[in-house]
Amino acid sequence: MRLNENTVIFGERVILVPYRAEHVPTYHEWMKSPELLELTASEPLSYEEELEMQRKWHLDEDKLTFILLAQPESRSSKILSLGELQKCKMIGDVNLFLPDGKEGQGECEIMIASKEDRRKGYAVEALSLFLSYLTRNLPLDPSNLIARIGSTNQPSIKLFQKLGFGLVKYVKVFDEVEMNYGVEDDQEILSELNLPKSDQSKIDWKGIELNGKISQYD
Ligand SMILES: CC(C)(COP(=O)(O)OP(=O)(O)OC[C@H]1O[C@@H](n2cnc3c(N)ncnc32)[C@H](O)[C@@H]1OP(=O)(O)O)[C@@H](O)C(=O)NCCC(=O)NCCS
């Protein structure tokens, strides 16, 4: 989607930038990992196919994606120039798929590619900013936000629970759960899959103010 083609969102630890052709070499390297292919339910692509995919993520009106960068540890301001952004480490991506148009359900997915970058709070901050951006800039009602996650992917299930999503469906044929924003976990699914209860404090991402955190990627 072209909505965010020039948008940068600055968090404390993470920065969201539009997915451009310059990011494809690193993205393509990441997606050679069998672990990431499985966890994100993706197919391996050639470099040319990955470039075509980047083009589609940019232009197709049913898709919106950002690349995630790590905020440098030593910086004078969290708002960086384009030159500074281009030196930041790429750590993952976050995206939305709208199979039924902008007023239907929106499927969210996130990836922090390298194990060394996980458990540092990158995903929770990136998703909080992303969800806040989406629900302010698209006619997408928060109750239409969903995530589809492999049933054994506890890190991701717990992450979405923390952001206020609850388990609503177990799809046996794909061995995946569906989570929906704003609902409580279905207790039968929790016990059938032996998943942890959402005992964590929830993040109020709807209250996140984006003013002062957004700039242009040019
Ligand atoms: C799931 C994933 C995105 C989490 O990213 P992350 O940056 O490590 O997550 P954060 O550090 O922001 O953690 C936020 C919350 O997620 C949950 N979480 C993340 N990793 C976890 C783990 N290994 N075990 C249990 N809970 C975990 C916790 O609730 C955590 O909150 P806490 O730190 O207060 O306990 C990351 O593991 C990943 O990219 N995995 C591979 C791709 C994937 O599975 N994507 C999801 C497809 S929808």
Q: State the chain's maximal CA–CA distance in angstroms.
A: 51
What is the structure's pLDDT at 218?
Answer: 87
- Residue 43 CB burial class (10 angstroms; 0-12, 13-18, ≥19): exposed
For residue 159, the ligand 1 atom closest to its alpha carbon is 16
105 pLDDT higher than 90: yes
199 pLDDT higher than 80: no
Q: CB-based contacts of 35: which residues, under 8 Å, 6+ apart?
A: none
What is the structure's pLDDT at 167?
Answer: 97
Determine the distance separating the centroid of ligand 1 and the alpha carbon of 26, expressed in angstroms. 21
For residue 41, the ligand 1 atom closest to its alpha carbon is 47
What is the structure's pLDDT at 76?
Answer: 83
160 pLDDT higher than 80: yes
Average pLDDT, integer, range 197-208: 88
Asked whether 202 lines ligand 1 (CB < 6 A), one says no
HSE-CB of 161 using CA atoms within 13 angstroms: 20
Q: pTM for the whole thing?
A: 0.97
Asked whether 163 lines ligand 1 (CB < 6 A), one says no
17, containing H or E segment: strand 14-18
215 pLDDT higher than 80: yes
Average pLDDT, integer, range 129-156: 96
Asked whether 182 lines ligand 1 (CB < 6 A), one says no
Pocket test for ligand 1, best of 37, 148, 159, 171 (most atoms within 8 A of CB): 159
Query: Mean of the per-residue pLDDT values for the chain?
Result: 96
Residue range 10-24, pLDDT digits in tens: 999 999 999 999 999
Using 50, 70 and 90 to split pLDDT, how confident is the model at 210?
very high
**Structural domain spans, the chain:** 7-210
CATH number listed for the domain at residues 7-210: 3.40.630.30
What is the structure's pLDDT at 75?
Answer: 84
Asked whether 98 lines ligand 1 (CB < 6 A), one says no
Percentage of the chain modeled with pLDDT above 90: 93
Q: Return the DSSP state at 172.
A: G
Task: Please name which of 134, 90, 126 lies closest in space to residue 1, comparing C-alpha atoms.
Answer: 134
The number of residues in the chain equals 218
3-state helix, strand, coil in the chain (%, to 5): 35, 25, 40
What is the structure's pLDDT at 185?
Answer: 96
Using 50, 70 and 90 to split pLDDT, how confident is the model at 197?
confident
Using 50, 70 and 90 to split pLDDT, how confident is the model at 102?
confident
What is the structure's pLDDT at 41?
Answer: 92
Among the ranges given (70-84, 115-129, 141-155), the one the predictor scored with the smallest mean pLDDT: 70-84
User: Sign of the C-alpha dihedral, residues 144, 147, 151, 155?
Assistant: negative
Residue range 25-37, pLDDT digits in tens: 999 999 999 999 9
Asked whether 94 lines ligand 1 (CB < 6 A), one says no
104 pLDDT higher than 80: yes
Which phi and psi (to 5°) does residue 16 adopt?
-100, 125
